[in-house]
Chain A
Amino acid sequence: MHSDRASLGLRIAAAAGLLFMHLPILLIFVYAFTTEDKSYQWPPPGLTLEWFAVTWNRPDVWEALSLSLRVAAISTAIALVLGTLCAAAVAHTRFFGREVISLLVILPIALPGIITGISLRSAFNLADIPFSFWTILLGHATFCVVVVYNNAVARFRRMSGSLIEASMDLGANAFQTFRHVILPNIATALLAGGMLAFALSFDEVIVTTFTAGQQQTLPIWMLEELVRPRQRPVTNVVAMVVVLVTFLPILGAFYLTRGTDTVAGQGK
């Protein structure tokens, strides 16, 4: 018997699965409003907005947030430039070792973050590079480049090569061709890749642990707070912010890349 509706058992199982994934996130939100600040007590003895004010006035939160935003923004910018260039080279030219380069670019995201972290840390040590904002940035850029590259290379492959020739044929130099033909055709892919890269960087813990000096990015700061309880709900307030900051770009990227499956330049 076939029916358009799934069986009751299947629907319950699906609902249970979704609840299992999302209920804990909801709990985080609830604890941001609790009046009790030593241990996570259920149910919360009372509800208050006090922790939002406390969080607002904590300089360490602002420092961590600011560092995370700067790292995410700059590593995304680096990734957009390098990822796009690399994708353009791999998708539209043939050269010796092209497949190898393609694989090597993707490797950092396939490797466990801990490997990337350890190897970067020992490399920085060997080269006598002090751990700083810039070492965090480099660590994040390794995987941000991959995300942008993956999005861009897929779009480049769907773009007909004769579009670029047509542009040059019509009098556009390399810069004009990039500005008026290539960029409009890969823009949504770059936006999606950039947002994903930003979100990945923003909540990255493992690589950051190995490449940071005294600085604390937001996720690292949260880990520290959990170990050393002091005004615990502040962590929950920050967690809410993190969820929103990472969720919104990913949602945006999803909507932007939807419905762009038509092949660019296949005008027959």
Chain B
Amino acid sequence: MTPAVRFRGVSRHFGEVRAVDNVDLDVAPGEFFAMLGPSGSGKTTCLRLIAGFERPTSGSIEIFGEPSTNIPPYRRPVNTVFQDYALFPHLNVTDNVAFGLMVAGVGKAEREQEAQKTLELVALPGFGDRKPSQLSGGQRQRVALARALVNKPKVLLLDEPLGALDLKLREQMQEELKSLQRKLGITFIFVTHDQGEALSMADRVAVFDHGRIQQVGTPEDIYDRPQTPFVADFVGSSNVLSPQLAERLAGVRAHASLRPESIRLDAGGHAATVVTRNFLGAATRLTLDLDGEKVSVLLPKGADVPATGDRVHISWDADALHVMDTRND
């Protein structure tokens, strides 16, 4: 099957800075794909390369099999929901949404009808005559979404789509985006620095660091089987054990990850000392000293919580200790 987006050896350098560094990527059609990483990791530049706002320094980009490396943004079958929404302040909501159809030469009556339909799709009917300045943040986001979707893009790009919203609205929009994507069957690619958002919404996640993709996989892959210490630490703050400790515990000399929630207190396990204790509400986080390395443990509510300085014994299921790929060390 032709991938929706294919990167082959794509780099984008700004002077000495390698914003995107030799990236290979395949996004499947109809996929909800997340690009996750800290700021400056190259994820937004990748999105801008797909949109056409940036040209790669080297490498090639295909969109549904079409070589697109040098195609300008206005001739790509992709649309973008911008982080600041970038709604046109001089146009009302209907004209904002109908903008793409207007420049494509669609007649006034038809494009206004399409705009109405799309506004209903994003659950914002009846706001057509308002100016963007008269809308709330959540409403603006829906307009931005409708303005992109009305053009029936093959790929929808979302740049930190929920970043400007408050927590409650963010959770609601996560659900809506997910069901919208299922309903439309369009490939969604979204950029986020929030690992929770990426894990809960995406079919697959690419984790970026320093312009390179560290790992691509399903949220379960990324979470349970991180391939590099960076992925383990960035996604869900896993314990990253040194190769020396991993060798003693599992017999393999490589970095290993151990999820804090998969560790139990168990009299027959490895001895460790409690260094700090933090009450988090639903759980308690202990920081232990295990053979000179810091290991954090998440104890569910109701468990017996040892005091700071106590000697404890810990164990975990054999598959909880995940030995990572040594290539990226």
User: Would you call B89 and A267 a contact (CB within 8 A)?
Assistant: yes
Q: Residue of A at shortest CB range from B164?
A: A268
The residue among B74, B80, B86, B147 with the most chain A CB atoms within 10 A of its own CB is B86
Stretch at the interface among A65-73, A119-127, A164-172: A164-172
Interface size for A (C-beta < 8 A) is 23
Q: How far is the CB of A36 from the nearest CB of chain B, in Å?
A: 56
Q: How far is the CB of A264 from the nearest CB of chain B, in Å?
A: 5
Q: Is A163 an interface residue (CB 8 A)?
A: yes
The residue among A165, A166, A167, A264 with the most chain B CB atoms within 10 A of its own CB is A166
The listed residue (A170, A172, A185, A265) touching B147 by CB distance below 8 A is A170
User: Would you call A180 and B103 a contact (CB within 8 A)?
Assistant: yes
User: Would you call A180 and B84 a contact (CB within 8 A)?
Assistant: no
Interface flags for A152-194 (1: CB within 8 Å of B; 0: not) read 0000000010110111111111001000110011000000000
Query: Given contacts A184-B90, A262-B133, A268-B137, are A170 and B82 in contact (CB under 8 A)?
Result: no
Q: Is B151 an interface residue (CB 8 A)?
A: yes
A165 CA to B51 CA, complexed, in Å: 9
User: Would you call B85 and A169 a contact (CB within 8 A)?
Assistant: no
User: Would you call A268 and B85 a contact (CB within 8 A)?
Assistant: yes
Q: Is A266 an interface residue (CB 8 A)?
A: yes
B66-96 at interface with A (beta carbon < 8 Å): 72-75, 78-80, 82-91
B contact residues around A160 at 8 Å (CB): 84, 86
A19-72 at interface with B (beta carbon < 8 Å): none
Interface residue ranges, A against B (CB under 8 Å): 160, 162-163, 165-173, 176, 180-181, 184-185, 262, 264-268
Q: Can you show 30 pairs from A to B with CB atoms below 8 A apart?
A: A160-B86, A162-B82, A165-B51, A165-B80, A165-B82, A165-B86, A166-B80, A166-B86, A167-B88, A168-B52, A168-B53, A168-B72, A169-B52, A169-B74, A169-B78, A170-B103, A170-B148, A171-B100, A171-B104, A171-B151, A173-B74, A173-B103, A180-B102, A262-B133, A264-B90, A265-B86, A265-B88, A265-B89, A267-B89, A267-B133
Apart from A165-B53, A168-B52, list 4 A-B contacts with CB within 8 A: A162-B83, A166-B86, A180-B102, A266-B84
